[in-house]
Amino acid sequence: MQISGAQMVIEALIAEGVDTVFGYPGGAIMNVYDEIYKQDKFQHILTRHEQAAVHAAEGYSKASGKVGVAMITSGPGFTNAVTGLADAYMDSIPLVVISGQVPMSLIGTDAFQEIDAVGISRSCTKHNYLVTDAADLPRILKEAFYIAASGRPGPVHVDIPKDVTAQIAEFDYSKPVHLETYKPHTKGNPRQIKKAIEAIANAKRPLFYLGGGVINANAAYEVRDLVHKTGIPAVETFMARGTLSYDDDLLVGMLGMHGSYAANMAASETDLIISLGARFDDRVTGKLSEFAKNAGVVHVDIDPASISKLVHADYPIVGDVKNVVNEMLAMVDKIDAGKYESWRETIHNFNELHPLTYHEDSDRLKPQWVIERVGQLIGDDANISTDVGQHQMWTAQFYPFTRPRQFISSGGLGTMGFGFPAAMGVKAADKERVSVNFTGDGSILMNCQELMTAVEKKLPVINIILNNNFLGMVRQWQTLFYDKRHSETDLSVQPDFVKLAEAFGGIGYRVRTKEEFDAALKDAVEKNVVAFIEVIVERFENVLPMVPAGGSLFNMMLLEKKESK
């Protein structure tokens, strides 16, 4: 059929099964927004900032496993969205971000709201397009969704000049995607898988190292089977939280800079790392030359560029984690789970020596208690998002995650302001569960305008603001490594968060005691509207354990031993 470029965008979204689009209109994308007005196949959620639109699409994607979609205009509309693109690129989140562009005749003339969007997005997208002919739009949009979701997922940017959205051309969305130079390798090499299984069977102290790729591949439950059938302990990266349930006996804990003592020591003492969907990030490995230096390495990843990029893989396997794990499951009868009993006991002793805990010796609430308490009161019925900072690490450490896609956070880029809009996207994807955003008094102000979006679109996110009147993580580093020179991190001058929430039509609470917190959380859940729960917490609490930057995992700064909770 002959339709306009703008209509093609709508028809492509419908054909891809898109049910939610996040965005913000403007001049260059106006033709597409006119077509959005005319349709009723998907909902559009108007955010109050383009960065928030992309973060919301990220949250939607992380919670649902689908491709998230955001739509923005040219110039500042696009530049505002770049942070979200970079965040999604670092965390391998499948997105299609469609931007308007000035008409073809004005490109290169420094026209009003012109920016080289494709040039800017090249380094922070999996792929990008500048559409110069409406006849190419069906193919490009279909390719965009395919590229975003296949192989190692990531964001794809499609930039469409305004005159192209007005052009009339043939729309045929039935043609299959054919990309000669892009063919993701999803099946692992059978010989390499066999060698890996033999190495596991011969190891005395093997350790599963689970990364975010397990979540992205929807392989968590297959990985659970593999862990249980082999009896091999497992550590999770920050991005893999929820792969194993928090109460799984074989889960050692989170690995890395703020990982548990037992997890970091296990990684230091293992003789075989079995890495599934992880990229050996610096926040996980610490000093590379000391990371698991006496261990062989099995590395399974969909992205061949990640294999041996940082740590040499003795048993490299390129393939989709889910496919490879299923192949491994067919061979695990060769592995004697009983032979690892002493290794499991060693790890148990590590945990007994320095358990993940905190001291309740303050007049103010401890942030760790708040996070644990939400887990006790809501638990599996909550999806948990975070901003970035101390509260993020405490959440990863202390929340009782029971399932994959329960934890939504900014990993690689570490984006303050991510949590609230992401939690809105999570709520749009999963309307039945409570959407909770743990945030700090620094992070929440970076996208607090989304209170208006949440009120208008009835997205009842509960934002728990752990207020220590500091940029907490930077303050922690200044305390530990800069002789307590707290340069520009004191946030003692802050708005009234209760009134701020109420000004937008939400509900606000300020709590100082455990009883007040319980009452506020219960009320917020029952009222089912967007909420700020400001919790006045201990100002100088540190996130521990901590591996100093560039240090070895086995050299951790630990909580001083005294009477603990």
What kind of architecture, by CATH, is found in domain 190-353? 3-Layer(aba) Sandwich (3.40)
Among candidate residues 16, 35, 50, 541, the one labeled active-site is 50
Among candidate residues 162, 322, 366, 457, the one labeled active-site is 162
In whole angstroms, what is the distance from residue 263 CA to residue 346 CA?
11
Answer yes or no: CATH 3.40.50.970 is held by domain 367-536.
Answer: yes
pLDDT at 335: 87
In whole angstroms, what is the distance from residue 220 CA to residue 123 CA?
30
Cα separation values, 554 from 11, 237, 256, 257, 546, Å: 55, 16, 10, 10, 10
pLDDT at 73: 98
Sign of CA dihedral 47, 53, 57, 62: negative
Element (H, E) at 90: helix 76-90
Where in the chain are all domains bearing CATH 3.40.50.970? 2-170, 367-536
First-to-final CA distance of the chain: 68
| Tens-level pLDDT at each residue, the chain (565 residues) | 899 999 999 999 999 999 999 999 999 999 999 999 999 999 999 999 999 999 999 999 999 999 999 999 999 999 999 999 999 999 999 999 999 999 999 999 999 999 999 999 999 999 999 999 999 999 999 999 999 999 999 999 999 999 999 999 999 999 999 999 999 999 999 999 999 999 999 999 999 999 999 999 999 999 999 999 999 999 999 999 999 999 999 999 999 999 999 999 999 999 999 999 999 999 999 999 999 999 999 999 999 999 999 999 999 999 999 999 999 999 998 888 889 999 999 999 999 999 999 999 888 999 999 999 999 999 999 999 999 999 999 999 999 999 999 999 999 999 999 999 999 999 999 999 999 999 999 999 999 999 999 999 999 999 999 999 999 999 999 999 999 999 999 999 999 999 999 999 999 999 999 999 999 999 999 999 999 999 999 999 999 999 999 999 999 999 998 754 4
* 238 flagged as catalytic: no
Helix pair 419-429, 50-64: axis angle to 10 deg: 50
Whether 147 and 127 have beta carbons less than 8 Å apart is answered as yes
pLDDT at 316: 98
Among candidate residues 66, 113, 198, 557, the one labeled active-site is 113
Q: Write down the pTM of the prediction.
A: 0.97
pLDDT at 362: 83
pLDDT at 250: 98
CA-based R_g, the chain, Å: 24
Residue 244 DSSP code? S
pLDDT at 565: 46
What kind of architecture, by CATH, is found in domain 2-170? 3-Layer(aba) Sandwich (3.40)
* 473 flagged as catalytic: yes
In whole angstroms, what is the distance from residue 557 CA to residue 457 CA?
45
φ, ψ of residue 98 to 5 degrees: the values are -105, 125
Among candidate residues 39, 41, 43, 112, the one labeled active-site is 112
**Residue 20 three-state SS:** strand
Q: What is the 3-state secondary structure (H, E, C) of 260-326?
A: CHHHHHHHHHCCEEEEECCCCCHHHHCCHHHCCCCCEEEEEECCHHHCCCCCCCCEEEECCHHHHHH
Give the strand order in the sheet containing 434-440.
Answer: 407-408, 382-386, 434-440, 462-467, 531-536, 507-511
Where in the chain are all domains bearing CATH 3.40.50.1220? 190-353
Element (H, E) at 136: none
DSSP bridge partners of 77: none
pLDDT at 564: 44
Tokens 């945030």: give the residue: 439
Helices (H) and strands (E) in the chain, counts: 21, 20
In whole angstroms, what is the distance from residue 159 CA to residue 168 CA?
18
The two three-digit tokens of residue 355, written as one number: 């358990």
φ, ψ of residue 414 to 5 degrees: the values are 65, 65
Cα separation values, 295 from 235, 338, 485, Å: 15, 20, 40
The two three-digit tokens of residue 341, written as one number: 């009993």
**Who's near 365: CB < 8 A, 6+ residues apart?**
511, 512, 513, 514, 517, 535, 536, 537, 538
* 112 flagged as catalytic: yes
**Who's near 118: CB < 8 A, 6+ residues apart?**
128, 129, 130, 157, 159
In whole angstroms, what is the distance from residue 187 CA to residue 173 CA?
28
Geometric angle at alpha carbon 513, from 509 and 515, rounded to 5°: 85
Among candidate residues 424, 473, 546, 556, the one labeled active-site is 473
Distance of CA 403 to the CA centre of its chain: 14
The two three-digit tokens of residue 143, written as one number: 């390719």
In whole angstroms, what is the distance from residue 490 CA to residue 479 CA?
12
Sign of CA dihedral 46, 52, 57, 60: negative
Geometric angle at alpha carbon 522, from 521 and 524, rounded to 5°: 65
b/e per residue 245-281 (b: at least 16 CB within 10 A): eeeeebbbbbbbbbbbbbbbbbbbbbbbbbbbbbbbb
pLDDT at 561: 81
